[in-house]
Amino acid sequence: MSEHILSVIVASPFLAALLIMLVPGDRHGPIRVLGFVGSVISLLGAIYVALHYDQARGGMQFGVVYPFIPRFGIDIRLAADGWSVALLLLTGIIMTAGSLASATLTNRPKEFYILLLVLVAGVFGVFVCQDLFIFFLFYEIAVLPMYLLIGIWGSKGKVAAAGPFKAVWRDLDVGGKEYAAMKLTLMLLVGSAAILVGMFAIYFAAGGKSFDMIALAKTHFPRDMQLWVFPMLWLGFGSLAGVFPFHTWSPDGHAAAPTAVSMLHAGVLMKLGAFGVMRVGMIILPEGAAAWAPVVGAVAALNVIYGAVSAMSQKDLKYVIAYSSVSHMGVVMLGAATLDTDGWNGAVYQMFAHGIMTGLFFALVGLIYERAHSRWVPSMGGFAKVMPGVAAFFTLAGLSSLGMPGSAGFVAEFLVFAGAWKSGNILWAIPAMIGAWVTAVYVLRATKMIFWGDGPSHEFHDLHDAKRVEWGALWILGTCIVLFGCAPRLVLDFIGTATGEYLPAIAKAAASIAPVALEIVK
């Protein structure tokens, strides 16, 4: 059992998708059940991994190798380290909640579930894959279904034309779902191209014999090569993590996407980007990472405050949450850039915490949108009277996002700030902290405008609270926020195990190299 558990986790969504293909498209019930079961098996597998991962031993566990293209040294190598454990749990939780949240979908559920399950299988694959080529393959499997999921099941917004590029706006259907799907896919594929280049650069620099990431991490690459390959990987993966200025797909994409897709995308997919930067970029290319760390950190700090300030003046609820994701992913990247134990633990924990929190947010926004048929915050008000449960969960998600102790968000943000401060990067930490405060401003402002005050006005006459299955998604995510906020060591210990193994090599590299600007001058 133990050696095949990772295969089970990755394969179960694939299998569920295959089975759904055999079900006639109008039988919605069995399709949903299959989708849910496929996700739950993965979640249980993730829990099994968490329970059986031997922390004292650490390192890669549950390893299994299937030869794929031996000539090029490509094998399907699955193994889990401490980070994987945390992120597998996250993906399982979000996917289970996501499949519950899409239970009310009636437009072509068969195709929807197939794509969603394929996507999530790709995500699981990325988190446990230790072969760079297959890693990239899974990455693409996770990214591409998004085009169809948004293009077909998305919803429409409208962005008024203005600014220096007015003509462009008139020409494009900015805010429409096809536009959003296209933009998201194109921007992420440009990123993928950069990753591909970086990947092959690493492969050939290591002798062109193997894509094994563990072996690659032990290889010492020439410094010049590291200096140009790392930024390729950073921006390539970073485009998915919403790194400024390649974050602009995120607001439009998340706003247009259907509920479960937003949940998965913001909750899990954006983490793939940050995970890729750390797992591939920083661990395989430590000197490149150390030299570029000041740039990565500065951009991340900018992300945090910029995303928060932008979120503050959005009037469309989904845009508020989407910009908050941009801001919070900045915290992840900031933690990564510290190259410090606390910072890295915080970064991975923030992936986890933000995933759950934003999953809850998007589930709630979906509920509100479905009932109010509007995402326009200024027109809302007083919703807490008719949907108290939704209001309570929205507040909970908001508190986690602004870093309230007792919620998972606090632990993550605190660790990242501590790491940034400890690594001597006060100039990053302060903007990031202010960004966290701005989060408090816009989240509570949105909460106040939507749920508090008089109302709801006549326009919203048929609002009601969450129902049956919908509660499931909310309770799962809400409980996780509080549980992992109060007992962070449930996950943090795993993360810490892996961080402790990877960091020394990077710390050594950092000691031997100057910031990139100086390196280039040399």
Partner 1 sequence: MTLVTWALLALFVPLGVAAFIGLVVPLRRTGRPAALISVAGALVSLASAGMVLAGGSAALKPGVHATVGWLTAGTATAVGVHLDGTSAWMLLVVTLVATCVQIYSLGYLHDEPPPALGRYFTYQSLFLFAMNTLVLAPNLLQAFLGWELVGLVSYLLIGFYFRKPSAAKAAVKAFWVTKFADLGFLIGLVTLYAQTGGFEWTAVTPAATFVTLMLFFAVMGKSAQFPLHIWLPDAMEGPTPVSALLHAATMVAAGVFLIVRAEPLFEQAALTRDVMAYVGAFTALFAACVAVVQSDIKKVLAYSTCSQLGYMVAALGAGDTFAGYFHLSTHAFFKALLFLGAGSLIHAVHSNELKDMGGLFRKMPFSGTVFVVGALALAGVPPLAGFFSKDLILEAMHHHGLHVPLAALAIAAFLTAFYMTRTVMLALFGTPSHAAEHAHEPGIDMKLPLAVLALLAVGAGFLGGPLAGLTGHDYAFHFTPVGGAGTAIGLVGIGMGYFMFGPAQGGAAIKRGFAPVGAFIRYGLMDRLATVAYGIMLAVGAIIAWIDRYVIDGLMNWSGWILLVLGRRLRALQTGNVQDYVYAVALAVVVFGAWGILR
Give the binding site for partner 1 (CB under 8 A): 159, 162-165, 168-169, 171-172, 174, 183, 186-187, 245, 248-249, 252, 306, 309-310, 312-314, 382, 384-385, 388, 399, 402, 404-406, 410-411, 414-415, 417-418, 421-422, 429-430, 433-434, 437, 440-442, 444-445, 448, 451-454, 488-489, 492-493, 496
Give the contacts of 29 (CB within 8 A, at least 6 positions apart).
none
**Residue closer to partner 1 (CB basis): 33 or 159:** 159
For 351-374, give the DSSP string.
HHHHHHHHHHHHHHHHHHHHHHS-
And the tokens for 433? 């902290």
**Residue closer to partner 1 (CB basis): 36 or 393:** 393
**Residue closer to partner 1 (CB basis): 175 or 281:** 175
**Residue closer to partner 1 (CB basis): 171 or 224:** 171
Nearest distance in Å: CB 236, partner 1: 16
To the nearest 10°, report the CA torsion of 255, 257, 258, 264. Answer: -100
Nearest distance in Å: CB 421, partner 1: 4
**Residue closer to partner 1 (CB basis): 5 or 418:** 418
Terminal Cα-to-Cα distance of the chain (whole angstroms): 54
**Residue closer to partner 1 (CB basis): 52 or 422:** 422
Collapsed DSSP state (helix, strand, coil) of residue 64 = strand
Nearest distance in Å: CB 494, partner 1: 12
Distance between CA atoms of residues 349 and 343, nearest Å: 10
Collapsed DSSP state (helix, strand, coil) of residue 76 = strand
Nearest distance in Å: CB 158, partner 1: 13
Nearest distance in Å: CB 174, partner 1: 7
| Structural element, H or E, at residue 510 | helix 489-511
Nearest distance in Å: CB 403, partner 1: 8
Nearest distance in Å: CB 281, partner 1: 23
Of 209, 254, 194, 201, which is closest to residue 226 (Cα–Cα)?
201
Residue 294 is which amino acid? P
**Residue closer to partner 1 (CB basis): 37 or 161:** 161
Distance between CA atoms of residues 239 and 188, nearest Å: 6
Nearest distance in Å: CB 159, partner 1: 7
User: Could you identify the residue written with the tokens 């921007």?
Assistant: 187
**Residue closer to partner 1 (CB basis): 202 or 301:** 301
Give the contacts of 258 (CB within 8 A, at least 6 positions apart).
102, 105, 112, 149, 150, 153, 154, 155, 366
Asked whether 182 and 148 are in contact (CB, 8 A), the reply is no
Alpha-carbon distances of 378 from 162, 383, 407, 451, 462, rounded to whole Å: 21, 12, 28, 11, 18
